[in-house]
Amino acid sequence: MSGAAVELKGVSKRFDSGLQALGQVDFDLRAGEFVSIVGPSGCGKSTLLRIVAGLIATSTGECRRPADIETAFVFQEAALLPWRTVERNAQLLMELEGYKPEDYQPRAAEALKLVGLAGFEKSYPHQLSGGMRMRLSLARALALRPGLLLLDEPLAAVDELTRDILQEELSAMWQQAGFTGVLVTHNVHEAVYLSDRVIVMSPRPGRILDVIDVPFAFPRAPELRATPEFARLTGDVTAALRRKQPA
């Protein structure tokens, strides 16, 4: 499977309440790349991600994506069904999309293996740690074999050590599966570690202040985070966040 390219042209969003959430956004996502979006709280990051997902309409402009790709969404809250076992949660989205059990069962099993949850198929969500619940949420999305995976602060609620490990695992999954990834995060280090490019947004109404290329080759060693080159990149992103106007 290969990732999908997405084109945003003159996209803005004003909600019915009159609130202008997004200014004008122009951006092209390249097939198979991993991009992060950083910006202050309330600047329209989630709104932008929902537009890319096709979940909400734009007020101006358009978002073009291939019609035939699966899009999967992962939220900060793992949003699991507590009465379903791990494997039944992993099967959920495929079941809702009308796949047959003989198709969705092996796919869910494969996705659970990929996120390191093999052996926990019959457990229930309340028996899992926060990190494991997020792995399950990822497995549920990956089982769809998405061409486009959208992640809205999925690691914001896990502790720092687990967060580093999940970042490394997420990066490995992306390198293996080849989807186009878009991650919203508050964490500048996370954005730089995972991404080909980091989009820096202004306060609301959100516009793109800068797009920063991250030149490190994949796979990236965990130790990359401790290098001066890495610190320079995170410094560039932080400086861009403080700007008032596009570079």
Ligand X SMILES: Nc1ncnc2c1ncn2[C@@H]1O[C@H](COP(=O)(O)OP(=O)(O)O)[C@@H](O)[C@H]1O
In the chain, the largest separation of any two C-alpha atoms, in whole Å, equals 54
Nearer to ligand X, 36 or 89 (CB): 36
Residue 23 has which token pair? Answer: 């200014």
Q: Would you count residue 46 as binding ligand X (CB under 6 A)? A: yes
CA–CA distance, 162 with 164 (Å, rounded to integer) = 5
Binding segment for ligand X (CB under 6 A), chosen from 35-43, 95-103, 187-195, 232-240, is 35-43
- The answer to whether 131 and 166 have CB atoms below 8 angstroms apart is yes
Q: Would you count residue 137 as binding Mg ion (CB under 5 A)? A: no
Q: At what angle do helices 130-142 and 86-96 cross, to 10 degrees?
A: 30
Query: Taking CB under 5 A as the criterion, which residues in 18-77 touch Mg ion?
Result: 46
- CA distances 230 to 23, 159, 213, 216, Å, are 30, 22, 12, 9
Name residue 28's amino acid: D
Q: Residue 210 CB, nearest distance to ligand X (Å)?
A: 16
Q: Would you count residue 185 as binding Mg ion (CB under 5 A)? A: no
Q: Residue 112 CB, nearest distance to Mg ion (Å)?
A: 28
Binding segment for ligand X (CB under 6 A), chosen from 13-21, 86-94, 103-111, 162-170, is 13-21
**129, 126, 140: which is closest to 75 by C-alpha?**
140
Q: Would you count residue 133 as binding ligand X (CB under 6 A)? A: no
- The answer to whether 246 and 207 have CB atoms below 8 angstroms apart is yes
Q: Would you count residue 43 as binding ligand X (CB under 6 A)? A: yes
Please tell me the count of residues contacting Mg ion according to CB under 5 A.
1
Binding segment for ligand X (CB under 6 A), chosen from 14-22, 70-78, 92-100, 211-219, is 14-22
Residue 166 has which token pair? Answer: 């999940």
Nearer to ligand X, 110 or 210 (CB): 210
Q: Would you count residue 86 as binding ligand X (CB under 6 A)? A: no
- The answer to whether 154 and 134 have CB atoms below 8 angstroms apart is yes
Strands (E), 121-241: 148-152, 180-184, 197-201, 208-213
Q: Would you count residue 47 as binding ligand X (CB under 6 A)? A: yes
Q: Residue 149 CB, nearest distance to ligand X (Å)?
A: 17
- Catalog residues that contact ligand X under the rule CB under 6 A: 15, 17, 19, 21, 39, 41-47, 204
